[in-house]
Amino acid sequence: MPKLLVDTVPVGYRELQHWVTLIDAIIGPNSEKFDMKSSVPGTLPGKLVAVFDSGFSLPRVPKPIGDALYSNIPGAMLGSNPKVWGFSCKNEVNLTLSLGHELFCPSF
C-alpha cells in the first residue's frame, strides 16, 4: 500500500491538527458505490475527507451516506436526539473504503 502522508496545518491552527486523507470511494453492503459530496472546502469532486481518530466511537459521515448505509439494515432505526442510527449487534455490515489515491492539502 502507498504511504499516506500527513499534512501539517499552519501554527495558528495547530489545535485543529488531525491525520486526514481522502476517501476515493465508499462501497456499501449492496456493492453499490456511494455518491459522495464533501462539505469541506477545497475537496476534490467525488471525494470525502477522512479524519483518523481512534478515540471516537461514533463515526461522523454525511447524512446521505449514513442513510444509504444503515437504512437497509433490518430493524435499523434513526434516533431523534442525537441523530444516530441504531441496530441489533446481530447484524453484520460490510463497507469498503478506498483511500490514498490523491493527497488532501487544505488551504487555511
Contacts 24+ apart (CB under 8 A), 66-73: 68/28, 68/32, 68/34, 69/28, 69/29, 69/34, 69/93, 69/95, 72/29, 72/30, 73/29
pLDDT single digits (tens) 5-16: 665 655 666 666
> What CA–CA distance (Å, rounded) separates 33 from 35?
7
Q: pLDDT at position 15, please?
A: 65
5 domain residue, yes or no: no
> What CA–CA distance (Å, rounded) separates 107 from 40?
11
CA 49 to chain centre: 7
Domain that holds residue 54: 11-99
Instruction: Record the pTM.
Output: 0.62
Domain count, the chain: 1
Where is average pLDDT lowest: 26-35, 42-51, 86-95, 99-108? 99-108
pLDDT single digits (tens) 34-85: 888 887 777 788 888 777 776 666 767 778 878 888 888 889 999 887 788 8
Please calculate the CA angle 37-98-70 and round it to the nearest 5 degrees. 60
CA Rg value for the chain: 16
91 domain residue, yes or no: yes
84 domain residue, yes or no: yes
15 domain residue, yes or no: yes
1 domain residue, yes or no: no
